[in-house]
Amino acid sequence: MLHRQISSSLAAAALWVALSSGCHHSQPQCGSCDFTPTPLGTISDSIWKNHEANAEASDFVIHEHEFIGNSARMNKGGEDHVKQIAARMPGVPFPVLVEPSSMSVRPGDKYGFPVHGNMDLDMQRRTVIVKALEAMGVNDVDQRVVVSPAFTPGYQFNEAGRAYSIGFNSSFSNGFGGGSNRGGGSGGAEF
Q: Are 133 and 96 in contact (CB under 8 A)?
A: yes
Q: What percent of the chain clears pLDDT 90, i.e. is strictly above it?
A: 45
pTM for this prediction: 0.62
Query: Which one-letter amino acid corresponds to residue 164?
Result: Y
Spatial distance between the Cα atoms of 20 and 30, rounded to a whole number of angstroms: 11
Higher pLDDT, 42 or 20: 42
pLDDT value of residue 183: 45
- Of the candidate ranges 18-22, 87-91, 144-148, the one whose mean pLDDT is the lowest: 18-22
Higher pLDDT, 14 or 86: 86
Spatial distance between the Cα atoms of 174 and 140, rounded to a whole number of angstroms: 49
Q: Is the pLDDT of residue 37 over 90?
A: no
pLDDT value of residue 43: 86
Higher pLDDT, 187 or 124: 124
Spatial distance between the Cα atoms of 152 and 61, rounded to a whole number of angstroms: 10
Mean pLDDT, residues 14-22: 64
Under the banding of pLDDT at 50, 70 and 90, the label for residue 93 is very high
List pLDDT tens digits, range 143-158: 999 999 988 877 777 7
Under the banding of pLDDT at 50, 70 and 90, the label for residue 47 is very high
Q: Is the pLDDT of residue 180 over 60?
A: no
Highest mean pLDDT among 4-13, 64-73, 175-184: 64-73
pLDDT value of residue 182: 46
- String of b and e for 59-83 (b: at least 16 CB within 10 Å)? ebbbebebbeeeebebeeebeebbe
**For the chain, what are the domain ranges?**
51-147
Under the banding of pLDDT at 50, 70 and 90, the label for residue 31 is low
Q: Convert the chain into a string of H (helix), E (strand) and C (coil).
A: CHHHHHHHHHHHHHHHHHHHCCCCCCCCCCCCCCCCCCCCCCCCHHHHHHHHHHHHHHCCEECHHHECCCCCCECHHHHHHHHHHHHHHHHCCCCEEECCCCCEECCCCCCCCEEECCHHHHHHHHHHHHHHHHHCCCCCHHHHEEECCCCCCCCCHHHHHHHHHHHHHHHCCCCCCCCCCCCCCCCCCCC
pLDDT value of residue 34: 61
Q: Cβ contacts of residue 77 below 8 Å, gap of 6+?
A: 66
